[in-house]
Amino acid sequence: MAAPRNRLKAQLAQGEMQIGLWLGFGSATAAEISAQAGFDWCLIDAEHNPNADAMVLAQLQAMNGAGVEAVMRVASAEDWMLKRALDLGVQSVLVPMIDTGEQAAAMVRASRYPPAGTRGMGAIQARATGYGAVSDYPTTANDQICLMVQAESRRSIENIDDIAGTEGVDVVFIGPADLSADMGYPGQPDAPEVVAAIEHAAARVRAAGKALGTITFDPARIPYYRDLGVRFLGVGGDVFCFAQAARSLSAHARAALVDE
């Protein structure tokens, strides 16, 4: 039995737009609801949200069978973090703060079994193999890993050709928030200088034949990113959606109680 086919990787390779939601609650219930909401993928964020391994496992189990692809953003570009994410059964991983082609290549090696990489051979008791049921996993897993790397600094934009040209990288994800801050425009991803840097990077990623990714919390920006060539597009987050809905409900309820 081979490793499961990674539909997200296959569809991105065909140039299909894939939209998804960031998961920050660390809640299996929120993950289950999100997985059934019609997105192509849901991303468990272990960089900026409290998603420890046991919480990630619970969310993956909650999403199982919903038809949505599970993605995980690890906390940093560390070999052991990729190993643990992959052994949990995640086939698509997003690695933050990649500034050079050398760093991207190191993450490729960390996500592949030998001889193509350095991933440890301990999955026989892991969820990735169905706890030993997927007998051919070690020889078939490499082809199903979708490696996404984040370019989110001035240095990464300077090295975008090297990053995008790294064999084994499937998606180059432009992080607008960190990039704008590093460029001296914190909280201003729409500053002209930042937009120019993003559009330059997008063109180079497309020229390298790699899928382009990013995220927006503004639905009005979705057509812009589509036209820019983005194919892995985050369109919001569970915490953000809940916070907006809760505040809106409170405001409407209080307004309805005001005597006319």
* Percent with pLDDT over 70 in the chain: 99
pLDDT in tens, 218-241: 999 999 999 999 999 999 999 999
| Beta carbons of 72 and 93 less than 8 angstroms apart | yes
**Known active-site residue 252:** no
Whether residue 195 is predicted with pLDDT greater than 90 in this model: the reply is: yes
pLDDT in tens, 141-184: 999 999 999 999 999 999 999 999 999 999 999 999 999 999 99
β-sheet bridge partners, residue 172: 149, 212
| Beta carbons of 178 and 201 less than 8 angstroms apart | no
Whether residue 260 is predicted with pLDDT greater than 70 in this model: the reply is: no
Using CA atoms, how far residue 171 sits from 108, 195, 210, 226, in Å, is 12, 19, 6, 15
What pLDDT is recorded for position 1? Answer: 86
Question: Angle, to 10 degrees, between the axis of helix 53-63 and the axis of helix 28-35?
Answer: 30
The one catalytic residue in 48, 226, 247, 252 is 48
2 within domain boundaries: no
From 196, 171, 164, 172, select the one nearest 183 (Cα to Cα).
Answer: 196
The range of the structural domain enclosing residue 221 comes to 7-257
Q: What whole-number distance in Å separates Cα of residue 194 and Cα of residue 199?
A: 9
What pLDDT is recorded for position 137? Answer: 96
Number of domains in the chain: 1
pTM value > 0.85: yes
pLDDT mean over 43-66:
96
Instruction: Please report where in the chains the tokens 């300077």 appear, as a residue.
Output: 158
Query: Phi, psi at residue 62, to the nearest 5°?
Result: -70, -30
* Mean per-residue pLDDT of the chain: 97
What pLDDT is recorded for position 169? Answer: 98
Q: What whole-number distance in Å separates Cα of residue 210 and Cα of residue 155?
A: 19
Residue 126 backbone class (left: φ over 0; alpha: ψ -120 to 50; beta: rest): beta
What pLDDT is recorded for position 123? Answer: 87
pLDDT in tens, 8-35: 999 999 999 999 999 999 999 999 999 9
What pLDDT is recorded for position 3? Answer: 94
The CATH number of residue 44's host domain is: 3.20.20.60
1 within domain boundaries: no
Cβ of 85: how many Cβ atoms within 10 Å? 26
pLDDT mean over 101-119:
98
